[in-house]
Amino acid sequence: MKNIIDQIYNTSEATGDELLRLLNNVDEESTAYLHLRAHEKRLSVYGNKVFMRGLIEFTNYCKSNCMYCGIRRDNKNADRYRLDTETILKCCREGHELGYRTFVLQGGEDPFYTDEDIVTLVKAIKSNHPDCAITLSIGEKSKESYRRYKDAGADRYLLRHETNTKTLYEKLHPDMSYEARIRCLQDLKEIGFQVGAGFMVGLPGQGNEDYVKDLLFLKKLQPHMVGIGPFIPQQDTPLAGANSGTLETTCIMLSLVRLLLPKVLLPATTALGSLDPKGRERGLQAGGNVVMPNLSPTNVRDKYLLYDGKICTGDEAAHCRGCIERRIQSVGFEVDMSRGDHVDRLTQK
Ligand code: SAH
């Protein structure tokens, strides 16, 4: 296994057969070696810095019905909320004072906010905080809509591909198409966003062949960011009784993505931290270099429940900032509060 890992480390390339052989045969020793090589790669590109993104979950209304997601349309138990512009701007102000220079606006797919609303919001944040990057994560839209957000000043867009196995994708996403998802990612790239794709680990029915497809897809797409987290069941969804993804497999995927796409911005996700008390630390040690602490107002925190057992649902933004900083330092990394652009974009601000 060491040979394949070294080869990926040296060339950032691997065939599907090699990846499958690796995934089918990893043991404790080769996993430790994989994490070590991924850690070295991350140090060589980004040093020991961990970039901070302030996450604002501004609506949990959603017209989609993803089988795994706690804010899916059919979940009648979800306590729905929307933040108005003033409240979102206040979150940004508070975040800016805490040092954040990236704001991630994430939400369900909520048609209540028109393109015009999103444009107005992006412009207002940019005008208040011209030194900050804005990331949108609001799902599938037309290319024209994406272009309007970009023209308004949005810098980045997160849209996980979720799984690159078409049959599994369509089983998990009623009324959605795999092709449309991929089209959106291509549109976002063409428009010039820094783009984030990514997938869940441990979905029911998902196996090593599926992960290989995810990894090869990412290699081909060359996104700037990759979000990878374990699937965690949510009690009011059709997948309530399924098993969670594991910390081990998630960290293996993080390391492989770091080796295949050395410059990628790779979060140690909240889902990973929710699965295991040291999950985010482990994610950073496996090659992750981003964390996304929550800036949402405390009174809505416990309503954006994509999965059960989500951490930090009651904490103030300042508390999250301090807590995550201590965690980052505890495993030998250093907090970086700058915009944290992808290295290929640093000269193009
Ligand atoms: N509506 C936006 C944001 C979705 S929520 C969009 O479609 O892009 C952000 C991410 O949370 C999703 O992309 C999904 O990968 C993840 N997620 C949703 N439910 C989850 C669950 N039960 N366990 C783990 N991750 C989940």
Percent of the chain scoring above 70 in pLDDT: 99
Ligand 1 centroid to residue 7 C-alpha, Å: 33
Q: Is 201 in the pocket of ligand 1 (CB under 6 A)?
A: no
Alpha carbons within 13 A on the beta-carbon side of 165: 16
Residue ranges per domain, the chain?
Answer: 40-335
Span 42-81, pLDDT tens digits: 999 999 999 999 999 999 999 999 999 999 999 999 999 9
Report the residue among 66, 306, 311 best suited for mutation to probe ligand 1: largest number of ligand atoms under 8 A from its CB. 306
Distance CA 315, CA 334 (A): 22
Environment class of 313 (CB within 10 Å of its CB; exposed 0-12, middle 13-18, buried 19+): middle
Q: Is 229 in the pocket of ligand 1 (CB under 6 A)?
A: yes
Q: Is 159 in the pocket of ligand 1 (CB under 6 A)?
A: yes
CATH topology of domain 40-335: TIM Barrel (3.20.20)
Distance CA 282, CA 46 (A): 17
CB atoms within 10 A of CB 142: 11
Residues 179-203 have a mean pLDDT of 98
Span 270-304, pLDDT tens digits: 999 999 999 999 999 999 999 999 999 999 999 99
Residue type, 105: L
Q: Token digits for 232?
A: 């965690």
Residues 7-27 have a mean pLDDT of 98
- The atom number, within ligand 1, closest to the CA of 269 reads 25
pLDDT computed for residue 346 by the predictor: 80
Span 86-137, pLDDT tens digits: 999 999 999 999 999 999 999 999 999 999 999 999 999 999 999 999 999 9
pLDDT at 155 over 70: yes
Q: Is 22 in the pocket of ligand 1 (CB under 6 A)?
A: no
Contact (Cβ atoms closer than 8 angstroms) between residue 10 and residue 42: no
Strand order in the sheet with 334-336: 290-291, 49-52, 334-336
Q: Is 136 in the pocket of ligand 1 (CB under 6 A)?
A: no
- The atom number, within ligand 1, closest to the CA of 68 reads 22
